[in-house]
Amino acid sequence: MATRTLKTSILSLGRIHCHIYGVNVRNPLNRATYATALSINTSSQNKGFPDRGNRGPFNRRSRREAGDPRTDRMPVEQDWTAVYPTATPFRQGSVPLPVRMGFPVKKGVPPEKKGNLELIKIPNFLHLTPLAIKKHCEALKPFCTEWPSALDTGAKCDEHFPVKVESKDYVSAGTSLRNPSARIVHLRVSFCVNYDYAMYLLTVLYHESWKMEAWESEKTVADMEEYSWEDSPSQKNIMSTLVRMQVEGEGEAVREELLGRPEVQEYRDSVTRLKNEGESESSMHQYRDAVKKLLNL
Amino acid sequence: MALHRLSFRLRQTVAQVRPLHGSGCGQQQEAVGMELETRPETLSIFRTQENDPACQSEQHLGQYYTVPPSHFHTVFPHGLPPRYQQQVKTFNEGCVMVRQPALELISHLKRADYSKPTMRYLLYGVKGSGKTMSLCHTVHYCSTQGWLVLHIPDAHLWVKNCKELLPSSYHASRFDQPIQASNWLRNFRTTNEHFLSKIKLRQRYVWTKRESTEEGRPLGELVDMGVSRVKSSSDVVGAVLKELRLQAGGTEGGFRLAVAVDGVNGLWGRTTLKKEDKSPVAPEELTLVHNLRKMINNDWCGGAVIATLSQTGSLYAPSSAYLPQELLGEEGFDSMDPFVPVPVSLYSEKEFMYIFLYIFYFKGFSFAIEYKTKTHKQ
């Protein structure tokens, strides 16, 4: 008995979920629905009356069946720029190539393109075929001016425009936009044109660079391009250590004498190398030997 | 390399290992301490009987020596790496391999002149190369030679994960870490029990309006006070360090002081602690770090500073960094300079073979026999 009631309830559920051709009983406001593959019914009459057409327990709203992929209908001479006019994710039904991507599990092959998330995730350049770029150029042409006809050889360009500035931009997929190599800009000057003027300019620049501005005296240790051992904490440390290690006296003369010793020079070189060149095993070894010699180990 | 020779040696070992008497093992102890196994040392290629670090030399390179169980608790209450502690618990003995960096350090310590300013030694190497174990070996040497050992097991523990930060009563802008300080004092007390009554304080320390420690009192009293009164433990640590610094290498009743700091690069750099207004705490604003930095300077004499760098546990350091300047930073390097860097390399082939013999074959085999005997008895 319990089973019978269960059955009837299931059937009644089925009734509620049943789909009449073209119209969903659960959609009393008759909003736009999907048509089935079979036929499109003139829906207005049948609205209120659930027909037993597509009956069955748990019959969901039947979906429209997927058609053939577009690739089946693509001629060889088609206009690819119409298929991929802009940057769009990979659509396996629109790309007529048997592409495979992914890890071959269990000695198999990489998975095919159908349902392949990896192909969708990566950036693609399907919208930038040579033909597409040609079209872009054609579209940009009205906005460009003609190249001056007089500058037809490289030599003439160099003659009129001797100073060339070359900068590079880098594109990569990563966590940061920045690429330190992009900061390097090359400025090229060719001397074959007006040599005298060029020399005059360089002389002026040279002399100007020697002038010390007032604000330059505010340069701090952090601004220095290179490490200099004089007046560094390293020098102070080693001097105080050595002075304490010596038994006799203090004062400038002792300091000068200590600074002149070859071990101290070696130590100075090793520290400068460490700081300027960065660390490596060999520079560390050099530092080690210098310290050992200096402190009589 | 010599795997066929290895198998030959193993066959010899099999013939010589006897099954152990199960009752002799007793129960596994909870703590790191263990009983000494009275196993005949028939296989001696990877073991040496020379258990005193002072007498070890190049001929013992690669071999394991056993730390006597009586020393274990006192010398290493907190210094050993956790994996090694597990190993000790499993194998019921503490065996340390004699390796080149430790031997080099010990030879420096033997030959150094202790009337000159303190030498700083820095162990550096890639992750897992054995810096902490080399440090522990050196600490064992110092301990057997009667030095006073100040072992800070991991300086990074003082700059991160600190639940309680109290503003210091002694200095307005600094912060105290009571829990860390009292833990460290407790372990210091365990290690240096015999020194605590001998060293007398050289000045009077006032803690509160009613409490003070007078001049001439033994150091032990100060340490006990720090352990019991947790609030002022950071200042007690500072006072202890200052006293030791002043008195090390002194002519009357002088002792030698070994400052062993693991993860010394934690003292410079950044912390993950925040003040109440969410601004970050700089390391020099912590009392413990401030005082420890003073110990690492070479303005005192009569001892040595042995430090290791550590990337594991460090803050804001890239995982591939292992060279001194990378981990210490500019400030740290300038403070430690001049120091003797001691490189620690990964295992050589010979060392690896000895480990294999020790752990996988000898220990594994006899451990299996032990287990079998135990279960058989049951």
For B15-61, the pLDDT digits (tens) are 444 443 433 333 333 333 333 343 444 556 888 888 888 888 888 88
Tell me: pLDDT of A247 over 80.
no
Beta-bridge partner residues of A164 = A188
A233/B334 Cβ within 8 A = yes
Return phi, psi of residue B273, to 5°: -90, 150
A281/B111 Cβ within 8 A = no
User: Is the model's pTM score more than 0.90?
Assistant: no
Question: How does pLDDT run across B293-340, given as a tens digit for each residue?
Answer: 999 988 888 889 999 999 988 888 888 889 998 899 888 998 988 899
| Interface contact B325, partner A, CB < 8 A | yes
Q: Which residue has the higher pLDDT, A190 or B165?
A: B165
| Interface contact B115, partner A, CB < 8 A | no
| Interface contact B112, partner A, CB < 8 A | yes
Helix (H, G, I), strand (E, B) or coil at A75: coil
| Residue A252 resides in a domain | yes
d(CA A244, CA A246): 5
| Interface contact B324, partner A, CB < 8 A | yes
Strands B257-262 and B148-152: parallel
Tell me: pLDDT of A34 over 70.
no
d(CA B321, CA B122): 15
Please give the pLDDT value at position B113.
87
The tokens for B172 are 């307005």
Q: What percent of chain A has pLDDT over 70?
A: 77
Considering only the beta carbons, identify the residue of A244, A278, A288 that sits closest to B341: A288
d(CA B220, CA B349): 47
Return phi, psi of residue A34, to 5°: -80, 140
**Chain A partners within 8 Å of B112 (Cβ):** 297
ipTM of the complex: 0.79
**Chain B partners within 8 Å of A245 (Cβ):** 116-117
Question: How does pLDDT run across A261-284, given as a tens digit for each residue?
Answer: 888 888 989 999 988 888 888 999
**Chain B partners within 8 Å of A232 (Cβ):** 334
d(CA B96, CA B286): 35
Residue B241 CB coordination number (10 Å): 18
3-state helix, strand, coil in chain A (%, to 5): 45, 5, 50
B117/A241 Cβ within 8 A = yes
A108 and A84 within one domain: yes
- The pLDDT confidence band at residue A99, using thresholds 50, 70 and 90, is very high
Contact B77, B51 (CB under 8 A): no
Q: Calculate the dihedral angle through the C-alpha atoms of B369, B372, B376, B378, rounding to the nearest 10 degrees.
A: 120
| Interface contact A79, partner B, CB < 8 A | no
Q: Which domain holds residue A87?
A: 76-144
Mention every residue, 6+ apart, whose C-beta is less than 8 A from residue B212. B204, B205, B206
Contact B175, B220 (CB under 8 A): no
Choose, out of A242, A291, A293, A296, the residue to mutate when testing the contact with B (most B CBs < 10 Å).
Answer: A291
Considering only the beta carbons, identify the residue of B113, B335, B340 that sits closest to A288: B340
d(CA B310, CA B334): 18
Please give the pLDDT value at position B186.
93
H-run or E-run covering B120? strand B119-124
| Interface contact B340, partner A, CB < 8 A | yes
A 215-234 residues with CB below 8 A of B? 232-234
Choose, out of B309, B337, B340, the residue to mutate when testing the contact with A (most A CBs < 10 Å).
Answer: B337
B323/A238 Cβ within 8 A = no
Task: Provide the residue count of chain B.
Answer: 378
Please give the pLDDT value at position B213.
87
| Residue A67 resides in a domain | no
The tokens for A178 are 């920045």
Q: Fill in the amino acid letter for A252.
A: E
Count: domains in chain A? 3
**Chain B partners within 8 Å of A234 (Cβ):** 334, 337-338
Task: Name the minimum distance, in Å, from the CA of B112 to any CA of chain A.
Answer: 7
Considering chain A, what is the average pLDDT of its residues?
Answer: 79
Distance linking the first and last C-alpha atoms of chain A: 100
Please give the pLDDT value at position A59.
58
Beta-bridge partner residues of B280 = B274
| Interface contact B343, partner A, CB < 8 A | yes
Chain position carrying tokens 């999907």: A34
Chain position carrying tokens 């520290």: A271
Closest chain A CA to residue B323 = A279
A279/B337 Cβ within 8 A = no
DSSP 8-state class, residue A43? G
| Residue A80 resides in a domain | yes
Please give the pLDDT value at position B346.
93
Mention every residue, 6+ apart, whose C-beta is less than 8 A from residue B335. A233, B268, B293, B296, B297
| Residue A138 resides in a domain | yes
| Residue A86 resides in a domain | yes
d(CA B298, CA B304): 9
| Interface contact A284, partner B, CB < 8 A | yes
| Interface contact B119, partner A, CB < 8 A | yes
Mention every residue, 6+ apart, whose C-beta is less than 8 A from residue A287. A270, A271, A273, A274, B341
**Chain A partners within 8 Å of B111 (Cβ):** 297
Q: Where are the domains of chain B?
A: 58-358
A164 and A134 within one domain: no
Chain position carrying tokens 């010390």: A212
| Residue A125 resides in a domain | yes
A205 and A242 within one domain: no
Q: Which residue has the higher pLDDT, B376 or A18?
A: B376
A233/B340 Cβ within 8 A = no
Mention every residue, 6+ apart, whose C-beta is less than 8 A from residue B310. B131, B132, B154, B156, B262, B263, B265, B266, B327
What residue ranges of chain B have pLDDT lower than 70?
1-44, 251-253, 362, 365-371, 373-378
d(CA A88, CA A275): 50
Return phi, psi of residue B151, to 5°: -105, 120
- The pLDDT confidence band at residue A55, using thresholds 50, 70 and 90, is low
Closest chain B CA to residue A290 = B340
A234/B334 Cβ within 8 A = yes
Q: How far is CA A196 from CA A203, A297, B53, B65, B377, in A?
A: 11, 62, 78, 81, 105
| Interface contact A16, partner B, CB < 8 A | no
Tell me: pLDDT of A151 over 50.
yes
Please give the pLDDT value at position B156.
92
Considering only the beta carbons, identify the residue of B112, B324, B338 that sits closest to A238: B338
> Burial of A293 by CB count in 10 Å (0-12 exposed, 13-18 middle, 19+ buried)?
middle
How big is the A-B interface in CB pairs under 8 Å? 57
> According to DSSP H, which parts of chain B are helical?
3-16, 22-25, 69-75, 82-91, 100-111, 131-144, 178-191, 193-196, 219-228, 233-247, 287-296, 324-336, 349-355, 364-377
Tell me: pLDDT of A53 over 70.
no
| Residue A198 resides in a domain | yes
Crossing angle for the helix pair B131-144 and B100-111, to the nearest 10 degrees: 40
